[in-house]
Amino acid sequence: MKLHTSFAALASCLLLLGGCGSSTGAASDKGCPAVPGKKDACITTAGDAPDDVKAGLRAAAQDLTGRAGRTVMPNKNKPQFRTAGKEHIARYITVDQGSVHCQVRKGQNAHTPYTGLISYDEVTMECRGATKAEAAKSTKCTSVGSASRKELIRYDGKTKKWVF
């Protein structure tokens, strides 16, 4: 029964963030790119959210994507290697910081007054070289794929911080 309740809560959160909530608008349906220097670059809202809540979500998004970029495996420091003929290929995953989008929505109670959705792309890169060392340090890297990631976080009404 406890597992069923957890799945029901998760499903309702996803429906709320997916656009099935009662307050939607044109701005809430679009993500906007993170543009340095622009005040609300990565924020779209459905309903009114205070500026400190939006600023906190921007900071949480930067922290989350920075952490994801450092901890994803394989990464630039520890790539996977394979050979194709006489060529060595280093493959790793990186986070595209330009793809970060944030969205704030009104929560459903005082404990969670806001929910946030942070979406970003993980890009798979391949670098080629005559040796493993050359492939690992090569600047001739190409993007060979990407995967979209979405992180659901909540704003704690008591501590006034974003929790993920």
Mean pLDDT, the chain, integer: 79
pTM: 0.70
The helix/strand/coil state of 34 is: coil
- Model confidence band, residue 45 (pLDDT cutoffs 50, 70, 90): low
Any domain includes 2: no
Residue range of the domain that includes 99? 25-163
Burial 81-90, CB ≥16 within 10 A → b, else e:
eeeeeeebbb
The helix/strand/coil state of 162 is: strand
Question: Does 13 score more than 50 pLDDT?
Answer: no
Please tell me the predicted confidence (pLDDT) of residue 8: 37
As a whole number of angstroms, the distance between CA 63 and CA 57 comes to 10
The helix/strand/coil state of 159 is: coil
Any domain includes 14: no
Any domain includes 137: yes
Number of domains in the chain: 1
Any domain includes 4: no
Question: How many C-alpha atoms does 89 have within 13 Å on its Cβ side?
Answer: 11
pLDDT tens for each residue of 121-153: 999 999 999 999 999 999 989 999 999 999 999
